[in-house]
Chain A
Amino acid sequence: MLELNHVYTRYEKVECLKGITFRVHEGEMVALLGANGAGKTTVLKTISGLVRPTAGEIFFRGKSIALLSAEEIVRLGIVHVPEGRKIFQKLDVLENLELGAFVRNDPGETAKDLEQIFALFPVLEKRLKQKAGTLSGGEQQMLAIGRGLMSGPSVLLLDEPSLGLAPILVSAIFKMIEEIHRRGKTILLVEQNARRALKIAKRAYVIETGQIVLEGSADEIRNNPAVQEAYLGGRERR
């Protein structure tokens, strides 16, 4: 469904992605793991059109999207929930959700999606008129995901949704992501919490300094000695 072929991306003179190739099939949840600065966020930004690849191809449902604008990519049904939430703090919760649906003009379906989001994140419905900046970290993450879902996407790109959350909230957020996936969304999940991510994803890729160094089923990745050492062993919290 989503396919990257030898994608290169650079910021000014620094090459950040050096020939990234991977695919995400319809209905799949795939994890993208890697250390700080490996290029995970850049991969998502390249897909969602925030930065342009300098070489390589990106296909969505067989259509080349590498040169489309961010707006066109949202319209196609790919939504990027950014790292650090990036909700509109000065706007209220409802306005944030409405902005998520900015590109849509199917009010009936949009209203249904809003109901679904309330069912998934009941706390948002209670805070509709509250300024988003006054929400707790966990609530802000739920809002960021809810806002993404409001565009009615078929693919969700989630960038470190558990970042900075208390352990109990981390579990809650992962449960919600699983639920969203169960309801039919294709998900590309970027995480530093490899242990958790590998529990809910079916397959995973590992990125190191702009290159995919490992790929396989979640089990294979989990049991790979190098991964155990780098991403699971030292950082493990029992």
Chain B
Amino acid sequence: MNAHIELFLQQVLNGLTIGMIYALIALGYTMVYGVLQLINFAHGEIFMVGAHLALLMIWVLTSFFAGVPFWLVILGVFLFAMAGASFLGAAIEKTAYKPLRGSPKLTALITSIGVSFFLQNAVMLLCGSREKTVPEVVPNLRFGLGAVSFSLVQLIIFLTSLGLMFFLTWFVKSTSLGRAMRATAENPEAALLMGISVNRVIRVTFMLGSALGAVAGALFAMYYGSINFHDGYLAGIKAFTAAVFGGIGSIPGAMLGGILLGLFEGLAAGYISSEWKDAFAFLLLGAVLIFKPSGLFGENLPEKV
């Protein structure tokens, strides 16, 4: 194979991998925005907490249950991180945001930044500020031909993310609660008149978004092999960019926005410079906000923040 094509394909694969993770996080931003018109800046920290919960579970499972097949370990890690993060998401919603319903959007936005600092500092105090190595749970296998290849971890990232995106799409489209979610997003007062408990819908939205963010955190931990208490910041901002790029409030938009952002980043890392790939995300955010603030799938303009 031609070396140019090899480099291109390799960067596409790597970009798609991180894009899947962005997409999972972006879903949490977009879902909460959909029902509350709130940009929950603490969501990046949910991802970070998810990564730490995953590390904790990996330690426990590899120390006390050595010999368990790796896919069972991964499953346990996902479930633990999802459960912990959705509980945390619901708790944050209840204590920090619910009392502010009906007050100006800016109040809740600033609160979310406060929650974000709180979570970062809490994790730093609990787990320390050093970079923590994640034990290798997934066998170090690579597939591919020639110079283009992908690892088993990457394959797991693809399959898990796509699976969760299909599940979420089905849930929102076809279940009664999913319908109630779309109704609440469009018109909360009319939703109340249907007997929909809008409070419950909001809680479920936070829990779902947090669970997806936690899986993203677990995948991130396994992919990069080390995590830190401030990992939520950059990942959160990039996923937020992805959500705005896709059209905030739109679920397919967040998925596509995340995947495309990862793709652009992979290509920028390959062809421009890997040090500049982070700046690239901000460039994209700026460009979207200037030229098409409603994003790829957005129908209505987000409120200015």
Q: B interface, by DSSP: helix, strand, loop or mixed?
A: helix
Interface membership of B195, Cβ < 8 A: yes
Complex alpha-carbon distance, A79 and B192, angstroms: 11
B74 at the interface (CB under 8 A from A): no
One digit per residue, 1 when the CB lies within 8 angstroms of any chain B CB and 0 when it does not, for chain A 70-98 equals 11011100011010001111110001001
In the complex, are the beta carbons of A71 and B192 less than 8 A apart? yes
Distance in angstroms between the alpha carbons of A147 and B196 in the assembled complex: 13
- Chain A residues, CB < 8 A from B195: 70-71, 73-75, 102-103, 151
- Chain B residues with CB under 8 Å of A82's CB are 189-190, 193
Within B185-205, the residues touching A (CB, 8 Å) are 186-187, 189-197
Select the stretch in B106-114, B134-142, B176-184, B278-286 that faces chain A: B176-184
Most buried by A among B179, B192, B193, B197: B193
Q: Is A50 engaged at the interface, CB distance under 8 Å to the other chain?
A: yes
Q: How far is the CA of A223 from the CA of B191 in the complex (A)?
A: 40
Q: Which of B103-161 contact A (CB under 8 A)?
A: none
Q: Which of B176, B182, B197 is A88 in contact with, Cβ under 8 Å?
A: B182
B186 touches A91 (CB 8 A): yes
Asked, given contacts A50-B189, A86-B187, A88-B187, whether A102 binds B182 with beta carbons under 8 Å apart, the answer is no
**A80 B193 Cβ-Cβ under 8 A:** yes
Contact A102 B196 (CB under 8 A): yes
What residues of chain B lie closer than 8 Å to A99, measured between beta carbons? 179-180, 183, 191, 194, 196
Residue of A nearest to B176 (CB): A102
> Which residues of B are found within 8 Å of A69, using beta-carbon distances?
197
**Using Cβ atoms and an 8 Å threshold, which residues of chain A touch B180?**
99, 102
The answer to whether B179 touches A95, judged by C-beta atoms less than 8 angstroms apart, is: yes
Most buried by B among A48, A50, A69, A88: A88
Interface residues of A in 152-195 (CB under 8 A from B): none
CB contacts (< 8 Å) of A151 on chain B: these are 194-195
A49 to B189, CA, bound (A): 11
Find out whether the CB atom of B186 lies under 8 angstroms from the CB atom of A71. Answer: no
B190–A87 contact, CB under 8 A?
A: yes
Residues of B within 8 A of A102 (CB): 176, 180, 194-196
**Is the beta-carbon distance between B190 and A71 smaller than 8 angstroms?**
no
Q: Report the Cα distance A73→B194, complex, angstroms.
A: 10
Q: Chain B: which residue is nearest A157 at the CB level?
A: B193
**Contact partners of A88 in chain B: CB under 8 A:** 182-183, 186-187, 190
- Which residues of B sit under 8 angstroms from A50, Cβ to Cβ? 189, 192-193
Q: How far is the CB of B291 from chain A (nearest CB, A)?
A: 25
Inter-chain contact A74/B190, CB cutoff 8 Å: no
**Residues in B lying within 8 Å of A, measured CB to CB:** 176, 179-180, 182-183, 186-187, 189-197
List 6 A-B residue pairs with CB atoms under 8 Å apart, sorted by A's residue number: A48-B193, A74-B193, A86-B189, A86-B190, A95-B182, A103-B195
